[in-house]
Amino acid sequence: MSKGNSVVLLDFWGSPFCLRARIALEEKSVTYEGREENLLGGKSDLLLKSNPIHKKVPVLLHNDQPVAESANIVAYIDEAWPSNPLLPTNPYERAQARFWADYIDKEVFETGKGIWLSKGEEGREVAKKNLIEVVKNLEGALGDKSFFGGDAFGYVDIIALGPASWFYAYEKIGGFKLEAYCPKFSSWFKRCLQRPSVAKAFPDPEKVHQLVLKLSEIMG
Ligand code: GS8
């Protein structure tokens, strides 16, 4: 890698947010150095310096310039490496893509939390129902298309894949199969996993399940 184009990702393997950045970098065939952060044991000085407001991963350092917040990072990657675009060029379609990315960011991970942070069965059942409702809304946006933007894999797919990487853990903890309620979403998910960029960046679902169990112990 030339000195003028260094790309470093402050990363955490199980993070739904870091996954978005890794997929976008793979989609653009960008060579980068991933630096794993120890979120529980102590964050690196570089992370604290690069994202002083939130102190969270992911942070992308492009030629030492930090970019924070995963949806912002994916949009940045799309602009900095313009070939093989992820966001549509049409202003209306771009606005739609940003709307759904925002919906996913506000609803999916937060709703999912109810499944692994709920103490009782009742709270978990409510969270399960809520998550299914949110995913059904996503199915509405997907319609009969292969990907959220149409025939081509793009921005909203990457944003949605982040929290979807925890769905296996939710299914195990909640004792349900999302496919039974949201078959279109499940087909979309399987389609995405067939992409080399996604397969390469994706964490092992069982490892994520163990991580979520550990987090629910710590935070629950
Ligand atoms: C969320 C990043 C985040 O929560 C984004 O990038 O989209 N809105 C942000 N990162 C977590 C790891 S994933 O659960 C994190 O860095 N946590 C450390 C902390 O909260 O101290």
Neighbour count for residue 107 (Cβ, 10 Å): 18
Query: Is 173 domain-assigned?
Result: yes
Residue nearest to atom 15 of ligand 1 (CA): 56
Query: Is 1 domain-assigned?
Result: no
Distance 90 CA to ligand 1 centre (A): 31
Query: Is 27 domain-assigned?
Result: yes
Residue nearest to atom 14 of ligand 1 (CA): 15
**How many domains, in total, are found in the chain?**
2
Residue nearest to atom 9 of ligand 1 (CA): 69
Query: Is 131 domain-assigned?
Result: yes
Longest CA–CA span in the chain (Å) reads 56
Q: Distance (Å, rounded) from C-alpha 85 to C-alpha 196?
A: 17
Domain finish residue from 41, 57, 80: 80
Query: Is 107 domain-assigned?
Result: yes
Range of the structural domain that residue 17 is part of: 7-80
CATH of the domain at 12: 3.40.30.10
Residues 67 and 107 in one domain: no
**Per-residue pLDDT at 119 exceeds 90:** no
Taking only Cα atoms into account, the Rg of the chain, rounded to an integer number of angstroms, comes to: 17
pLDDT digits (tens, 9 = 90+) for 155-186: 999 999 999 999 999 999 999 999 999 999 99
Query: Is 144 domain-assigned?
Result: yes
Residues 139 and 184 in one domain: yes
Secondary structure of residue 59 in the 3-state scheme: strand
The partner residues of 34 in beta bridges, in order of sequence, read 9
Query: Is 86 domain-assigned?
Result: no
Residues 214 and 127 in one domain: yes
**Per-residue pLDDT at 1 exceeds 50:** no
**Ligand 1 atom nearest to 58, measured from its CA:** 6
Q: Which pair of tokens denotes residue 193?
A: 């996993």
Mean pLDDT value of segment 146-151? 96
pLDDT digits (tens, 9 = 90+) for 72-104: 999 999 999 999 999 999 999 999 999 999 999
